[in-house]
Amino acid sequence: MRTQLKKDEKVALITKLHWFPTLFNKFAFGLLCSIIGIKIGGYGLCLTIAAILFCVYKYFEWQKNIWIVTNFRVIDEFGLLSLNAKESPLDKINNVSFSQNFMERNWGYGTVVIQTAAGHGATTYSGVENPQKLKDTITTMQEEYKNSFAKNQAKELANIFGQVQQNNNSNSISVELEKLFDLKLKGIISEDEYNKLKAKLLNA
């Protein structure tokens, strides 16, 4: 993988497209062109060399087309001569599903659909290697992310009320109200939670 990880970010899974739907047709075409080039001879050998180079390029391109699931996001990384990456934060993913027909199930690949809260909606990935593992890893990381988020929220709130109890004065309450407002801006607490906690602070 070529995408730089963030602080405390850990990789849970790296997967890619299955070789059969991705490379089989290309390699078959390249082999056919190679055979034709050899039979023609002369300038036909140029066709053989071009076909071999085409197959080599497609192989390394396949190796670089990967998905990375971390404890923060899902990264779709692709491109051989250039790096292209598209990511979906775990908290923005609404649903993940996969499907396999009879042949796909036997060969071990399928389609994964990731629905996000972003404007582009659902993204469909076809020919994914072991699609169920990708889907299960994403949902597992989402659960861990939610649990971690809840723990951090509880810790932040405990720190706020702990400071107020230790320093029960107007300056302390003002500082803690600012912290509370910051939590609301970060999306850690909702508007309703903010108002209730603010009232609790002011009445402390």
- pLDDT (tens digit per residue) in 80-134: 888 899 888 998 888 999 999 999 999 999 999 998 876 567 888 999 999 999 9
Predicted structure pTM score: 0.71
Which strands form 122-129's sheet, in the order they lie side by side?
93-99, 109-116, 122-129
Q: How confident is the model at residue 57 (pLDDT cuts 50, 70, 90)?
A: very high
Taking the C-alpha atoms of residue 101 and residue 32, their distance in angstroms, rounded to an integer, is 29
Non-local (6+) Cβ contacts of 153 within 8 A are 183, 188, 189
pLDDT recorded at residue 8: 87
Instruction: Write down the mean pLDDT value for the chain.
Output: 84
What separation in angstroms does the CA of 195 have from each of 66, 111, 166, 200, 201? 44, 44, 22, 9, 10
- Is the pLDDT at 185 greater than 80, yes or no? no
Question: Is the per-residue pLDDT at 18 higher than 60?
Answer: yes
Strands 66-70 and 84-89 turn out to be unpaired
Tokens of 197: 């906690």
Opening angle at CA 158, ends 153 and 164, nearest 5: 130
* Biggest distance spanned by C-alpha atoms of the chain: 92
Are 172 and 164 in contact by the 8 Å Cβ rule? The answer is yes
pLDDT digits (tens, 9 = 90+) for 167-183: 555 556 667 777 777 77
CA–CA distance, 82 with 85 (Å, rounded to integer) = 10
Q: What is the pLDDT of residue 174?
A: 67
pLDDT for 164 equals 54
The pLDDT of residue 71 is 92
Residue 190 has pLDDT above 60, yes or no: yes
Residue-level pLDDT at 103: 92
Reduced to 3 states (helix: H, G, I; strand: E, B; else coil), residue 26 is helix
Question: Which tops the pLDDT comparison, 125 or 184?
Answer: 125
Q: Please tell me the predicted confidence (pLDDT) of residue 67.
A: 92
pLDDT: which is higher, 164 or 149: 149
